[in-house]
Homo-oligomer: A and B are copies of this chain.
Amino acid sequence: MHTNLKKHAKKAGQPPGTVIYTGQKRQDDCDITIIDYNQDECTVYEHQKDKACLPFLKSTTNTWININGIHDVELIKFFGEHLQIHPLTLEDIANTTQRPKIEEYPEYLFIVLKMISYNEKTRELDTEQISLIVTTNTVISFQERAGDIFDPLRRRLQNAGSHLRKAAADHLAYAIIDTTIDHYFSVLESISNEIEEVETKLLNDPDNTILHRIHKLKNQMIGLRKTVWPMRELINDFIRSESAFIQKSTHIYLRDAYDHTIQVIDTVETFRDLIAGMLDIYLSNLSNRMNSIMKVLTIIATIFIPLTFITGLYGMNFEHMPELTYPWAYPAVLGFMLLVAGGMLAYFKRRRWL
């Protein structure tokens, strides 16, 4: 987040529409994949150059152009020129600090998505921005990094009978959104595992790392919320949009995707509540442990302090202490001490401290 703010801050005063890449520095080339399909055929062209895309932009078949890597600003500008894309859109594609949103332009629909992945080892969330340009029969998708979550989509495109093959480009856009949202569930599953693990540890064997794990989960929920709520808005705007690029038949599918985001939001909110509850338990445990520490101290101290006083009493060096000379005095004092200790123990028992 810090890096993004810095980049954003540096843009202050620059004209809107300035295309600046705001993600992490990268050296590798951007990779273009073209999938051209209609009801009858589907061809995949991998590792293409930018100019190879031009014929597909004008063809009557449906085309999905996927670009992995958005650090090549010239590439973004290339598509901007050939598709008459508004400079503000190009700026948003390169700037990875966008919120998920949908924007309607007369020439295209512009959609920004956030894909989330969870690193099981470091227990860190990672966010990646995916931008879509949708026209009647073309979808251009920009991803920050190469990833494999869209592989099942490609396989469905290659399956001649699939609904995806028959439908227009807006259905492909929907499918990309839907796949992204479905991916949230696997992230939530990983987090759910972590929550269960932390909860088990919390109840059985709490230590100092627990607080930091709870704290991290809490911050991750803050981050997830910030991402998921706009996804819901985005799909809602998608449904209510009257853009010519959206077929009526897609509405029912969008409603389904909307239901899924609501489920994601519900789960995130539930996790928040669960995590808040875990923090409460952690703090109660701290208090409980303090109580039990104090109990031990108090029991030991209240038993032995009076006894030590008695031994001190008969350790005094007064010349005239008649008790000291009686032969039965020592055993009597020992007995009295036992009595005192027993009384104390009985008192603690009654107070349920033992």
B293 engages A294 (CB within 8 Å)? yes
B320 engages A317 (CB within 8 Å)? no
B97 engages A12 (CB within 8 Å)? no
Q: Does A280 contact B (CB under 8 A)?
A: yes
Inside 8 A of A183's CB, which chain B residues have their CB? 9, 12
Pick from B97, B193, B319: contact of A325, CB under 8 Å = B319
Q: Does A124 contact B (CB under 8 A)?
A: no
A311 engages B315 (CB within 8 Å)? yes
Pick from B259, B321, B353: contact of A101, CB under 8 Å = B259
B277 engages A215 (CB within 8 Å)? yes
Nearest chain-B residue to A179 (Cβ)? B13
Stretch at the interface among A134-142, A236-244, A298-306: A298-306
B15 engages A163 (CB within 8 Å)? yes
Q: Does A218 contact B (CB under 8 A)?
A: yes
0/1 interface trace, chain A 1-34, chain B, CB 8 Å (1 if under): 1100110111111111100000000000000000
Measured CB to CB, the residues of A under 8 A from B are 1-2, 5-6, 8-17, 86, 88, 97-99, 101, 103, 149-153, 156, 162-164, 178-179, 182-183, 185-186, 188-189, 192-193, 196, 203, 208, 211-212, 215, 218-219, 222-223, 226, 252-253, 255-256, 259, 262-263, 266-267, 269-270, 273-274, 277, 279-284, 286-291, 293-298, 300-302, 304-309, 311-321, 323-327, 329-330, 333, 353
Q: A16-B253, A211-B284 are in contact. List 19 more A-B contacts (CB 8 A).
A: A2-B192, A6-B189, A8-B185, A12-B182, A12-B183, A13-B150, A88-B252, A103-B255, A222-B273, A226-B270, A290-B291, A297-B297, A300-B302, A300-B305, A304-B306, A314-B316, A315-B315, A320-B327, A321-B330
